[in-house]
Structure 1
Amino acid sequence: MVVKRVLAGFALGALAFDGSAIAADISPGMALKAPRLVYDWTGFYLGGHIGYGGGTFGPGTNALPAQGVLLPPSPTGLIGGYQVGYNRQFNNNVVLGIEADATFISAVDPARLTPVPFHTTFDYFATARGRIGYAFGALMPYVTGGVAWGRTKLNLNDADGDLLSSTTRDHFGWTAGAGVEFAVGGNWTAKAEYAYLDLMRQTYDLGNAGLPNVSVDPNIHTVKVGLNYRLWDTPPWSPSAPIAGKTLLPESTDWNVHAQTTFIASAYPRIRSPYEGTNSLPGGGQGRETFTTTAFLGWRLWQGGELYLNPELAQGFGLNSTLGLAGFPNGEAQKGGAPFPRFRMQRYYFRQTLGLGGEQEDVPDAANQLVGKRDIDRITLTVGRFAVGDFFDGNSYAKDPRADFMNWAMWSSAAYDFPADLPGFTRGAIVELNRKDWAIRAGLFQVPAQPNNDVLTFKTGGAVVEFEERHQIFDQPGKLRVGAFINRGNTGSYRGALAIEANDPTLDINDVMSSIRRASDKYGFYVNGEQQVATDVGIFGRVSWNDGQNEILSFTDIDRSVSAGVSIKGSHWGRANDTIGLGGAINGLSAAHRDFLAAGGNGLLIGDGRLNYGTERILETYYAYAIDKNFTLTADYQLIVNPAYNKDRGPVSIFSGRLHGEF
């Protein structure tokens, strides 16, 4: 659901704090005495939280450093999770409550990772607590305490620091803390909380690895902020007397909250597989699933100035840990998945819009978009962390793997090696000039420190320029986007690696490639078109190309790609919110790239050890069934011929189910 009732709540909350509220526009015919505004904390609620944690697992445990972004890495790094609870407010303003939460840690900070025989980390930790507070109207300080539990994991490493195996232990203990919660509008409250967790010691037996036993004794401090939404009850704000014609909590256009959750399960049966390499799709068949939950928080700072934050929890793996296919079938599958949710602040960016006057357009309330009006002629500057695809290579029919086509080669211009870390995001700046019938936008971004890396750097960089043209054909709207890009990253030359390996065939070509990486350029272009051909029927197509001389840096192993398809809404068969899609893609490699793979090279996602080259061909079709206004269930089928460009492998049929919710 859409939430927009916040800033006014701050003002009303302040009035409630001293026990009165003034109706500013009371007419002479109304009562002179202003009614009292009362807030009641009683009710069930659920919500989410983000924050930062620190502490220790005990001496000699080699805590795995988790990302703190602007804060130091720690055993937890940034944290995020969910909570659910119930409050009961008594006549003396004492509030008693119970709350349970689950918290998940950040991904590993690879820049702080040092080779050691083992590392210790959390999978998750959770609490079940009582709360005692005192209600000062819409403000409630409280203390809290109860039981805590969690799971730690010990990773055994080889001599190079790479993971060999993992074992886990469950811990139980106690927690205590304090916080303050306050009403911010409608059924929403916000809170800030400190908590300490003391979990009992557990011992890991490492005798089989030739190492002494390790005692893990987690003691964790956390600082969290969160939002709670009260369920089912009547609105918690109520006056002691009615105010004719007035709304106690007017809607705000300066603050909004949205959320999404997506679960995707994919599987394929046994395929032809006469040989396999490091990155081959297993021949025996496999099933995997992914799950994400994202909050979209927006705040209007001033006229034209907006701040957006998108905390996200993600867990699960793509098929074969997102390896074995260039056109990968699950757009939610991140590189480097996890069996338990991992928390990241995926987006945090500031946007300033400068209107140039003239005609205006309405802006609907949406995720990462505040309701209002804006000049059609405008300049927009965006700075922060985001996905390049948030602003470039858009398409109305094939862009969102949570809602439409799922294959990487269908929702993107696949030969655009857009700068990104493992989950697909970067940091940078974008400037856009928009006019009624066209727009031009350009961006400058950080790139990974090396191929398939989670560390972003400005030592090199990526840039893209896109021109967008809007038109009507027989009164049907359409768009054409043309983009040109260049990335400068720490990559190796395919021909360079092949030449060195040819002079000394005893060398491993992947080791050779790693040794010759230096600052190198990759450039290319994409063309992206969409056209409505009838009411609720649209077609689309993309063509993309890169020079294919140096390693892929960020996205996937594709140097040339063409894709096209059709999208039809269900209004034609009485299901207006359903969608059916049918499309296909053909992916290819440069001659240098295919020779590298044929010599045993590995790419970001592919590498069979040898190669009988053929273009990778993809057919995808889906039906998205709208369960209600919030949830959609999708059945998706993909046929991939010559997976990873290898005629000796496959074809593979991939069956997927997707449940997606938007709020």
Structure 2
Amino acid sequence: MRTAAIASSVLMLPAAGFAADLPLKARAARTLYDWTGFYVGGHFGYGDASFGPGTHPLPEQGVFLPHSAMGLNGGYQLGYNRQLANNVVLGIEADATFPGPLDTPALERDPQPFNTTIDYVGTVRGRIGYAFGRLMPYVTGGFAWGHTHVDINDPPVSDVIARVGHYQTGWTAGLGLEYAVSGNWTAKAEYEYVDLSRRTYDLSSFGFGDLNVEPRVHLFKLGLNYQFGDTPWMPPVDGKTKLPESSDWNVHAQTTFLPQGYGPIHSPYAGPQSLPGGGQLQATWTTTAFLGARLWDGGEFYFNPELAQGFGLNGTLGLGGFSNGEAQKAGAAFPKIRPQRYYFKQTFGLGGEQEDVADAPNQLAGKRDIDRVTLIVGRFAIGDFFDGNAYAKDPRADFMNWAMWASAAYDFPADLPGYTRGAVVELNRKDWAIRAGLFQVPSAPNSDILTFKTGGTAVEFEERHAIFEQPGKLRVGVFANSGNTANYREVVDLAAANPALDINDIATATQRNRPKYGFYVNLEQQIVNDVGLFARASWNDGQNQILSFTDIDRSISGGLSIKGSRWGRPDDTVGIGGAINGLSAAHRDFLAAGGLGLLIGDGQLNYRTERILEAYYAYSVVKNVTLTADYQLITNPAYNADRGPVSIFSGRLHAEF
């Protein structure tokens, strides 16, 4: 942004000098920013809402701000502007705004027999603004609608026994300020009030009578818009942007739709966390914005708000190596937005040879010293910086199964969507790197609450080499977590001595601060151009409950990734791989006695290793858009030879820019 301002000034200086030597009419040729055209963008912000007396609004997460009935929220918009000769700008815009996820601790502090919430707000509005060059204040108003629902609770309050929902319509009004930043990008700040009509919920069948729900919503938004001009959804033919580009910030985005399904499987018995024997079809959809800004020399900040909707098979339960890497443990029928990443990155160059850095998601273009120290502080996924692999790392682009794109026995600290807060420091040299991190861990197994009362650590050494002039990398990592967990052997012994007690109640009652430690080895190796292999092995001690990731104590995986150059499709990829997952003896005994793991629990167990075969073909539809067909065969799902096998068929549509 700073570069854009300087560039604009430099460009204007010679023009001003030239204009002084021309007749007065030449001033009419001075160009101003033109707001005319189509645009599309996204927004993120904070809001609140009321629904009327006695409605008991659900508290949504505010993260650094207080929880509220909307919490942190965001969405997307598209529209069209027409700038008139008198600089008045007329426009029309449609948008959708989605609230954040539930703030569970706030809900538990104030239990209610039922709760009301809003799933989303949509609007179609007119806009009237006045263009002061690159700055445009405006007012806006129009039609609004939304979807609300009421949860009927059964103590404890987290147990929802019924849900009733309705659509409601109304009106909206607001005001904002928009500024052309650089390139074709504009930034805006906006306040919007939404008033939806009253809807009466008949809750008499639950013993509560009628409930009147009248949503009154306040939204405070910060947004970015990409301006296309009068040709919708296409950049100018000559490639010129409306303003000079800036290298001090960037914007990228992705969206991934991933349906999965399987047919009936052998299932003589099942537990609460078993794959249903009759088969199932589910789908997930994520949309992520990757925003980056250069603060100063070596200092960068990244922010990734993400909308997620849908569910994994059986609510992401029933497999150790789960089949969908996009399936979060906090699934939702309507999109929910989270600020998945927000972190500061400082790079300290040590001098010597430099390398080019390409523009990419969470990466600003430029140059950096090869010999460097990097510090990262904030919220991120541990896999962003540890356990990387060129061929098996991204379920949006390559293998989908959890045991394929990660060292599955590494119980990395994370909340339900898979992110944590902490710090990472890395020393990089030309042929090797070493990195270490300290992270928050969940307050209990599968909790969405992160805490520093206990913590997680990891250290990874990365070696880079060439074999017969083919590049490769070897990563070796060690990790240790300290979290509020139960000891498998202790729980099994207590359950045997007290058969009247439920083993899972014993596990919860005996949770205290306990360690988990282990290691992983991770290899990637190019064999020839466009053909590479990967291999991973990981292990943890397996004595205490899994805290964050999945029910795997030992795992090996490997496979091949082949680009389509040899058959004239260089942007296509074929992948084939396999994984074998196992459990410690204590973990097996816990599950066999009826214990529930993080994702699995059939009520009993005929133990065998869980075995996974995965193959996929990613077809490049157009640049940056791929369509993938994927097949997974999982033998002994959840380590149980009495159930399965299961064949899972998946599709995946992925787009990015």
TM-score (norm 1): 0.95
Q: Mind listing any 5+ residue stretches in structure 2 that lack a counterpart?
A: 233-239
Aligned residue number for residue 153 of structure 2:
157
Judging changes above 3 Å, is the alpha-carbon distance between structure 1 residues 390 and 25 closer, same or farther for their aligned structure 2 residues?
A: farther
Judging changes above 3 Å, is the alpha-carbon distance between structure 1 residues 31 and 52 closer, same or farther for their aligned structure 2 residues?
A: same
Secondary structure of 2:13's counterpart equals: coil
1:299 aligns with 2:255: no
User: Any idea what the Cα deviations from partners look like across 1:319-376, whole Å, max 9, x if unmatched?
Assistant: 0110001100100000020011000000000000000000000000000000000000
1:95 aligns with 2:94: no
Aligned residue number for residue 241 of structure 1:
none
Secondary structure of 2:608's counterpart equals: coil
2:128 to 127, 132, 136: 132
Read off the aligned partner of 2:220 and give its amino acid letter: V
2:205 to 194, 203, 208: 208
**Counterpart-to-counterpart distance in 1, 2:525 and 2:264:** 39
Aligned residue number for residue 547 of structure 1:
541
**Counterpart-to-counterpart distance in 1, 2:617 and 2:451:** 40
* Worse overlay, 413-422 or 154-163: 154-163
Judging changes above 3 Å, is the alpha-carbon distance between structure 1 residues 154 and 28 closer, same or farther for their aligned structure 2 residues?
A: closer
Judging changes above 3 Å, is the alpha-carbon distance between structure 1 residues 27 and 148 closer, same or farther for their aligned structure 2 residues?
A: closer
2:215 to 218, 222, 225: 218
Read off the aligned partner of 2:54 and give its amino acid letter: G
* Worse overlay, 283-292 or 209-218: 209-218
Q: Is the 8 A contact 1:270 1:285 kept in 2?
A: yes
1:393 aligns with 2:390: no
Aligned residue number for residue 100 of structure 2:
106
1:22 to 13, 22, 28: 13
- The aligned runs of 1:89-488 (5 Å cut-off) are 89-114=83-108, 115-161=111-157, 162-231=159-228, 233=230, 249-488=243-482
Read off the aligned partner of 1:217 and give its amino acid letter: E
Residue 186 of structure 1: how far off its partner (Å): 2.2
Residue 55 of structure 1: how far off its partner (Å): 2.5
**Counterpart-to-counterpart distance in 2, 1:127 and 1:629:** 32
Judging changes above 3 Å, is the alpha-carbon distance between structure 1 residues 94 and 534 closer, same or farther for their aligned structure 2 residues?
A: same
Judging changes above 3 Å, is the alpha-carbon distance between structure 1 residues 556 and 123 closer, same or farther for their aligned structure 2 residues?
A: same
Q: Is the 8 A contact 1:182 1:190 kept in 2?
A: yes
**Counterpart-to-counterpart distance in 2, 1:461 and 1:602:** 24
Residue 31 of structure 1: how far off its partner (Å): 7.5
User: Any idea what the Cα deviations from partners look like across 1:619-653, whole Å, max 9, x if unmatched?
Assistant: 00000011111100000000000000000000000
**Counterpart-to-counterpart distance in 1, 2:145 and 2:18:** 58
User: Any idea what the Cα deviations from partners look like across 1:125-167, whole Å, max 9, x if unmatched?
Assistant: 1111111111111111001111111011111111211111111
Secondary structure of 1:370's counterpart equals: coil
Tell me the number of residue pairs that the alignment of Structure 1 and Structure 2 aligns: 645
Q: Is the 8 A contact 1:358 1:377 kept in 2?
A: yes
Q: Is the 8 A contact 1:12 1:249 kept in 2?
A: no
C-alpha root-mean-square deviation of aligned residues, in Å?
2.1
* Worse overlay, 474-483 or 212-221: 212-221
User: Any idea what the Cα deviations from partners look like across 1:556-609, whole Å, max 9, x if unmatched?
Assistant: 000000001011111111111111000000000000000000000001110000
Secondary structure of 2:591's counterpart equals: helix
Secondary structure of 2:571's counterpart equals: coil
- The aligned runs of 1:582-593 (5 Å cut-off) are 582-593=576-587
Q: Is the 8 A contact 2:411 2:548 kept in 1?
A: yes
**Counterpart-to-counterpart distance in 2, 1:151 and 1:41:** 33
**Counterpart-to-counterpart distance in 2, 1:576 and 1:213:** 62
Read off the aligned partner of 1:275 and give its amino acid letter: Y
Residue 182 of structure 1: how far off its partner (Å): 1.2
Secondary structure of 1:39's counterpart equals: coil
Q: Is the 8 A contact 1:315 1:337 kept in 2?
A: yes
Judging changes above 3 Å, is the alpha-carbon distance between structure 1 residues 138 and 594 closer, same or farther for their aligned structure 2 residues?
A: same
Judging changes above 3 Å, is the alpha-carbon distance between structure 1 residues 635 and 8 closer, same or farther for their aligned structure 2 residues?
A: same
Secondary structure of 2:32's counterpart equals: strand
Secondary structure of 1:164's counterpart equals: strand
**Counterpart-to-counterpart distance in 2, 1:55 and 1:475:** 61
Q: Mind listing any 5+ residue stretches in structure 1 that lack a counterpart?
A: 1-5, 236-245
Read off the aligned partner of 1:118 and give its amino acid letter: F
Residue 225 of structure 1: how far off its partner (Å): 0.9
Q: Is the 8 A contact 1:55 1:221 kept in 2?
A: yes
Residue 468 of structure 1: how far off its partner (Å): 0.3
**Counterpart-to-counterpart distance in 2, 1:232 and 1:220:** 32
Judging changes above 3 Å, is the alpha-carbon distance between structure 1 residues 307 and 367 closer, same or farther for their aligned structure 2 residues?
A: same
Secondary structure of 1:597's counterpart equals: helix
TM-score (norm 2): 0.95
Q: Is the 8 A contact 1:55 1:220 kept in 2?
A: yes
* Worse overlay, 177-186 or 477-486: 177-186
User: Any idea what the Cα deviations from partners look like across 1:520-557, whole Å, max 9, x if unmatched?
Assistant: 00000000011111111101100000000000000000
Residue 434 of structure 1: how far off its partner (Å): 0.3
1:560 to 554, 558, 563: 554
Read off the aligned partner of 2:124 and give its amino acid letter: A
Read off the aligned partner of 1:621 and give its amino acid letter: A
Read off the aligned partner of 1:21 and give its amino acid letter: M
**Counterpart-to-counterpart distance in 2, 1:428 and 1:154:** 36
Read off the aligned partner of 2:626 and give its amino acid letter: T
**Counterpart-to-counterpart distance in 1, 2:13 and 2:180:** 18
Q: Is the 8 A contact 2:3 2:248 kept in 1?
A: no
Secondary structure of 1:140's counterpart equals: strand
**Counterpart-to-counterpart distance in 2, 1:234 and 1:154:** 44
Judging changes above 3 Å, is the alpha-carbon distance between structure 1 residues 536 and 253 closer, same or farther for their aligned structure 2 residues?
A: same
User: Any idea what the Cα deviations from partners look like across 1:41-97, whole Å, max 9, x if unmatched?
Assistant: 111111111110012112211111101111100001011111111111111111111
Aligned residue number for residue 571 of structure 1:
565
Residue 173 of structure 1: how far off its partner (Å): 1.1
User: Any idea what the Cα deviations from partners look like across 1:215-266, whole Å, max 9, x if unmatched?
Assistant: 211111111011111225379xxxxxxxxxx998443211100000000010
Read off the aligned partner of 2:222 and give its amino acid letter: V
* Worse overlay, 640-649 or 107-116: 107-116
* Worse overlay, 604-613 or 57-66: 57-66
Q: Is the 8 A contact 1:10 1:183 kept in 2?
A: no
**Counterpart-to-counterpart distance in 2, 1:106 and 1:442:** 31
Read off the aligned partner of 1:134 and give its amino acid letter: Y
Judging changes above 3 Å, is the alpha-carbon distance between structure 1 residues 575 and 460 closer, same or farther for their aligned structure 2 residues?
A: same
1:50 aligns with 2:50: no
Secondary structure of 2:294's counterpart equals: strand
Aligned residue number for residue 239 of structure 1:
none
Q: Is the 8 A contact 1:7 1:184 kept in 2?
A: no
* Worse overlay, 203-212 or 552-561: 203-212
Q: Is the 8 A contact 1:177 1:194 kept in 2?
A: yes
Query: What percentage of aligned pairs have identical amino acids?
Result: 69
Judging changes above 3 Å, is the alpha-carbon distance between structure 1 residues 195 and 347 closer, same or farther for their aligned structure 2 residues?
A: same
